[in-house]
Amino acid sequence: MGKRRAHGEGALFVRNKGTARERWVGRLALADGTRQDVYGKTQAEAKKKLDQLKTQRADGLAPTSDKLRVGQFLTDWLQNTVRTSVRPGTFRGYSTIVNSYLVPKLGGVALVKLTPQDIQRFQNDLLRTPRKDGRGTVSSGTVANARRVLGRALQQATAWRMIARNPVRLVDGPHVTRKEITPLDPDQARELLAYIKGDRLEALYTVALALGLRRGEALGLKWEDVDLDDGLLHVRRSLQRAEGKLQLLDVKTAKSRRTVSLPLFAIRALQKHRLRQEGERQAALDRWTETALVFTSPFGAPLDPQIASRSFARILERAGLPHQRFHDLRHACASLLLAQGLELKVIQEILGHSTITITGNLYAHVMMGLKRQASSEMEALFGDPLPNIGLEPAVLAR
């Protein structure tokens, strides 16, 4: 046996000396009466690991084996921490990022040995990785999301004292170019409302456009949430796919739970929709499933969000309007309200954003256009006439 270290500082000794299985062991006795061993091919390697272990213990870190890999930690964190703390849709997004990007590229690295350099290489490699659909490489936005998920996981590991610091915080994220939102303009919105007259889901698209509801919020409405007499709509729940089936869940945040005022054209659309639904109920007879939902299948069941989105895409195509996601009706609502001069705080409350910063960041491009318009109007009111030197009116207005 090799030379033991002083009492309280751990011990170093060799096992299977003189054989092919010879290795050095560093042993540290823990306060609870147990012990933790580290191993090395040489005495120096074992001593280095033992010193690292003692430093971790002195810093209050939990004893974490260097055999615990990032992939193992992420999988456990995902199933036992994230699943119980976020909404099903968020969990699916996290799972995709963990299983598609983080585990394949970082999963084999020991958790306690993960460095900022590993994170930087991961980001750089991912930016060069071809997309599965063959359309270029992974976007900077996806890389930023992967970095965000990894950072949250490692922050949990830091809180649990499994690692001394979060290496993600020491690495700059990739530059992300925000995709400019191009929702329907007022003329296009009017074309849409005219085209969907008489459509079975006319009220769904009308309400989504008028109030900026999220898709799940619109599909989660019950008739008890709609007061057509007073023109009020209460957003209380959201229809989401969780564990393979559609479920009604609480809305996204406390701010998402809100009461909004219905414009008259939306009230009329909902009134017609209620009569249409009553006709479907009578036609379905015993095949009707009573859910009390406003928007359902022809037999009363919850309306699948994907079906709603596909129906909306077909309407846009037939109407000759630009392709939009269902969610872009929400952006169209916000842009139209801003263009009418509504205050940002009021728009935040209508949309149910958790902070006014989110609203401002999303629609900064619309606000800049309004600022330019205000500047032009102010110039027209107070500015000195300029000589006509062949400039276009738009240039003169700047």
- Outline where DSSP puts E strands in the chain: 11-15, 23-29, 35-40, 226-227, 232-235, 237-242, 245-250, 258-261
Query: Tens digits of per-residue pLDDT, 46-69?
Result: 888 888 777 766 666 565 666 789
Query: Tens digits of per-residue pLDDT, 342-361?
Result: 887 888 888 888 777 766 66
- 32 touches 43 (CB < 8 A): no
The region of weakest confidence among 6-10, 37-41, 272-276, 390-394 is 390-394
Going by C-alpha positions, the residue among 157, 174, 58 that lies closest to residue 113 is: 157
Give yes or no for residue 266 having a pLDDT over 60: yes
Question: Residue 313: how many CB atoms within 10 A of its CB?
Answer: 14
Beta bridge partners of 137: 130
| Beta strand pairing call for 245-250 and 237-242 | antiparallel
Residue type present at position 75: T
Q: How many residues does the chain have?
A: 398
Give yes or no for residue 262 having a pLDDT over 50: yes
More confident site: 216 or 389: 216
pTM of the model: 0.68
* pLDDT, position 69: 92
Going by C-alpha positions, the residue among 147, 145, 93, 141 that lies closest to residue 119 is: 147
* pLDDT, position 376: 61
Give yes or no for residue 272 having a pLDDT over 90: yes
Going by C-alpha positions, the residue among 243, 204, 198, 253 that lies closest to residue 226 is: 204
More confident site: 114 or 32: 114
- Residue 213 binned pLDDT confidence (cut-offs 50, 70, 90): very high
- The token pair that represents 80 in the structure block: 């036992």
Burial 225-264 (b: 16+ CB within 10 A, else e): bbeeeeeebebbbbbbbeeeebebeebbeeebebebebee
